[in-house]
């Protein structure tokens, strides 16, 4: 015997599962150092040699908190997310700037964060010779290996 509601219920369950997974994948969170290092490497393809420095920067910028938002800077810009990406140059609360995303996106979408960080790094390297100089906390990351030495990255 065929039940008329079964097909609907299956589709509804599938839709809810996909929505729940999608929401989980974009929720704000606080990372552990090795978890962030592995994700930067395996999910977003960051070069192995850059990962300790980026993990160090994320620690000093936000304590690995993807939902971190700074108080207004002197120029009234605001820094967003785990890497504290600045609203003056890279994102904006209204129109899209350098990274092509709104600042709010940088609080919930690590895929967009990774793309933006790579763009910031590349542009700063082009202008200053060292991409990490985009982050003021880089000065605390001259010997960053201690942030990922125990992570067994390959």
Query: Domains, the chain, ranges and CATH?
Result: 29-151 (1.10.530.10)
Alpha helix positions (H), the chain:
4-25, 33-38, 51-62, 110-128
Is 123 part of the annotated catalytic residue set?
no
Pseudo-torsion of CA 62, 68, 74, 76, nearest 10°?
150
Task: Please tell me which residue in 32, 39, 61, 145 is annotated as part of the active site.
Answer: 61
Rounded Cα distance, 46 and 37, in Å? 9
pLDDT value for 28: 78
pLDDT value for 95: 58
Task: Please tell me which residue in 32, 35, 79, 123 is annotated as part of the active site.
Answer: 79
Q: Mean pLDDT for each consecutive 10-residue tract of the chain (154 residues)?
A: 47 39 60 98 98 99 98 97 96 75 96 97 97 98 96 87
Residue 26: CB atoms within 10 Å = 16
Is 79 part of the annotated catalytic residue set?
yes
């Amino acid at each position: 015997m065929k039940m008329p509601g079964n097909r609907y219920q299956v589709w509804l369950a599938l839709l809810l599962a996909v929505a729940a997974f999608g929401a989980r994948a974009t929720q704000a969170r606080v990372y552990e150092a090795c978890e962030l290092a592995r994700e930067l490497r395996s999910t977003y393809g960051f070069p192995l040699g850059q990962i300790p420095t980026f993990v160090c920067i994320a620690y000093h910028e936000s304590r690995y908190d993807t939902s971190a938002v700074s108080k207004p800077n002197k120029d009234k810009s605001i820094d967003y997310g785990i890497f504290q990406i600045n609203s003056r140059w890279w994102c904006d609360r209204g129109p899209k700037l350098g990274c092509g995303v709104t600042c709010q996106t940088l609080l919930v979408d690590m895929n967009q964060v990774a793309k933006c960080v790579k763009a910031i790094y590349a542009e700063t390297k082009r202008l200053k010779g060292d991409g990490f100089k985009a982050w003021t906390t880089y000065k605390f990351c001259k010997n960053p290996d201690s942030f990922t030495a125990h992570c067994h990255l390959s």
